[in-house]
Amino acid sequence: MASTREAYGKTLLDIGRSNPDVVVLGGDLNKSTFTHLFAQEFPDRFFDFGPAEQNIMSVAAGLAASGKIPFVSTFAVFGMCRPFDQLRLNIAQPRLNVKIVCTHAGIITGEDGMSAHSIEDISLACSLPGFNVIAPSDSIETIQAVKAASEMDGPVYIRLYRTAIPVVHDDDYVFSFGKGDLIRNGTGVTLFATGSMVGNSLIAAQEIATEGIDCRVINMHTLSPLDEEIITLSAKETGAIVTVEEHYIHGGLGSLVAQVTGKFFPVPLEMVALKGYTESGKPDELIEKYGLGIKDIKFAIKNAYARRTLPIAGQ
């Protein structure tokens, strides 16, 4: 287990040391997002606005238009939901080089409760034309995704978490922006998982293999642009798909994958996702209560497998 937000804070500091154009904007949650590390070393390149997220995004746009590389960090509900108008008008439409890295996404924010559970952020970010959207699956991927974001031109949204999550990659892993990450091969059902749910998806695949269902697991770290090629290929080769995400069922990974399969190669599709808002509670308990646990993933796998379309030879 390792913290994605801590990995982000340390990586951002390293990037700041090598690139003087990097500036950081916060919203009174800097210790929680680990951007206080940057603030301590580079106080003249760090700006705290308090709880004024609309202002933060507007100023970040101005800094980007002036040639700086602004990183904005706060909780996901405050960084994507609250200032959506500013994101749309000031950043997405002029396609400015703003990096928005938000922590405390999803329901594993836990005891902070319903108002702090960001379950709509992927949908909102992906609805902005030109936005690059990344949901790293662990701390190792987070480090590489943040570095990649700092080097690419254009707006980026990166989704991170409050609690530590399983580490699913080795130290020699290489992040490839826009490309699905095959982390377990299989021929029976393809699991497309993103962010915090990749670890549980791997466990579910390993457990259900003992029941004779061989699952392929693909880490969809990049939600926009989406790797349509790996989705279509997996649909053809395995004949059934399960999507797994800690996000609202509408507009997230499941919806994105369904758009691709519906266009190129329709197959049975099951979605493990949130059906609505939740409540305050311990992260593990919320995951189980609201249908995102390992048993729920296995149940979806069995349903997809029962409806499975066998691959067609030569296609």
- Residues with catalytic annotation? 53
Rounded to whole angstroms, the Cα distance separating 26 from 196 reads 24
The values of phi and psi at residue 107, to 5°, are -90, -10
DSSP state of 211: G
Rounded to whole angstroms, the Cα distance separating 245 from 290 reads 12
Secondary structure (3-state) at 135: coil
User: In the sheet that 269-274 helps form, which strands lie side by side, from edge to edge?
Assistant: 181-184, 215-219, 189-193, 241-248, 269-274
Rounded to whole angstroms, the Cα distance separating 284 from 271 reads 20
Number of residues in the chain: 315
Rounded to whole angstroms, the Cα distance separating 201 from 163 reads 18
SS3 content of the chain, % helix, strand, coil (to 5): 45, 20, 35
Rounded to whole angstroms, the Cα distance separating 247 from 292 reads 10
- Neighbouring CB atoms inside 10 A of 229's CB total 12
